[in-house]
Chain A
Amino acid sequence: MQITCDRLTIELGHTEIVRDLSLKAAPGAFIGVIGPNGSGKSTLLKCIYRVLKAKSGCVYLNEEELESLTYKESAQQLGVVTQHNYYNFDFKVSEVVLMGRAPHKKQMERDNTEDYAIVYDALGKVDMYDFKDRVFSTLSGGEQQRIILARALAQRTKCLILDEPTNHLDIKHQLQIMELSKKLGVTVVAALHDLNIAATYCDYLYMLKEGQVVAEGLPRKVLTEEIIGSVYDIRAKIIEDVETSMYHIAYLPNIG
């Protein structure tokens, strides 16, 4: 499934947060959206997952205009992991994940064994099967984040939208979530803070600043010392490890 954003402009309370932005995620590609705080990453993603409406421009899933789909139809194709998931009521973990099956259900349809199998499968994939009977609100931030990913997996969609999926996670689970999302082979659009994570896992990067794309391309083309320096207003150094041919970004302190 291909996601295309065509010249999106998004306003929040009369301020343009995203301006004339175009983005394309080819089927099966892992697309990273990076940029400093307030650069419009989350706003862009919110527009793709339909919580915000664009002032102008359009989002397409394959050839179809997103706005022409019902919410149910789009939820069958887009799984979403957002940043803030605080619930005022005590849900069990398995109940939260089971909600991921909702887009595939008719109003009166009951949950069947297949749905439970998918739920437990998703929980297994994020390493949280043993937590299935725990109360969601008693889990730590990182554990909650993994449950929300499991819910998106339970949707069995061809695209995933991840809004800073590695927030609150320890290193192991940061890598695990990224690897898992990549292994699924679905189209992923992820807003990421950690440039090293972006360099390691993304096929293609969009660097945003003040609501516009300032650089795009393969990670090694976008994550250069010059571009990082000018966008984030810091000094960065790129280190390439000979042994693993890994690409690392080090941030240099201004003092000393």
Chain B
Amino acid sequence: MYLRSLHLKHFRNYQAQSIEFTAAKTILIGNNAQGKSNLLEAVELLSSLKSHRTSRDRDLILDGELFSQVGGQLEKDTGSIELAMTLRQNGRRTVALNSISLRRQLDFLGTLNMVQFSSLDLDLVRGGPDQRRQWLDALLIQLEPIYAYVLQQYNQVLRQRNALLKAIQKSAAHPPHSSSSELALWDAQLAIAGSRVIRRRARVLDRLVPFARSWHQTISGSTEVLEIRYASNVTADEDTPEALQQAFLEKIQQRSLPEHYQGTTLVGPHRDEVDFTINQTPARQYGSQGQQRTLVLALKLAELKLIEDVIGEPPLLLLDDVLAELDLNRQNQLLDAIQDRFQTLITSTHLGSFDAQWINSAQILEVKAGTLLEQESF
């Protein structure tokens, strides 16, 4: 797929800006805080309806304005699609495809597919488990948009169950009332919704592993064996929804006392982990920072390939401030992998930090205080 243009109005530090993407690679160059990442953030919003930088729409609106608009023209194998989104200072956002406004935001997901690779991702292996869960969830939503709904349901059950546990904890001094049967009800809901999340997450990792493994061997030039496993705190011997739900309920039973004292839900996919191991050693202990970066790069390339396989056409690649952090060898591996097949948007503070091959035939835009200047190609 190819994003032909992007239109911003009152978005972040952009008053009104239209961008035509004229090459497979676009390099956005400029000093810090000029608005480079804001452009990628706009593409992220069109793809996922989310920004990894904020969860509040008002942060996305230019100071002093009431609303903001983000739009784009996307070319897909199936035809051309116009994406549009309006964010408001007060009130709900609205989304439209080909000028038809959608009643359900979920229907907007899965239209524009992309893989994001920012300097933050370099901590994917070392960082906390929540980072890995978020990474996995974002990938799943692109491949199976209904997962956004599955996850939202789980989070809502979790919030309700936590509220009930807190309420029970508070009323502990009073004689027990019907709360235990009420809790059992939420246990059942948690097990149903949670099992769906766990099974989908485990399944997507299984599909990603072969790609990640082969990329990892290519980039590291070694025969080390990469394993990726979804490490859930709920496991069942049999791979059926019923068996997992049963195991889930048993685990809740086991942990009921600590849950009671802590007043929060201790069992479920909100506490799961993704394990990376290389030659049977946990990757976070195993490697140098460079080796961990190799792993992250392999994961990102695997994401590109998996999305391409499932969707049937290549997704966009957004490289936010990350290229300069990779050494020349890894930069070249990445370049070889994407060639001109994946439309790539790259931000950087200066052109000198990467290989001349990247600059060849790329469209170069200078970003300065919320405006764009086209530069001559090299």
A and B bind? no
Interface on A for B, CB 8 Å cutoff? none
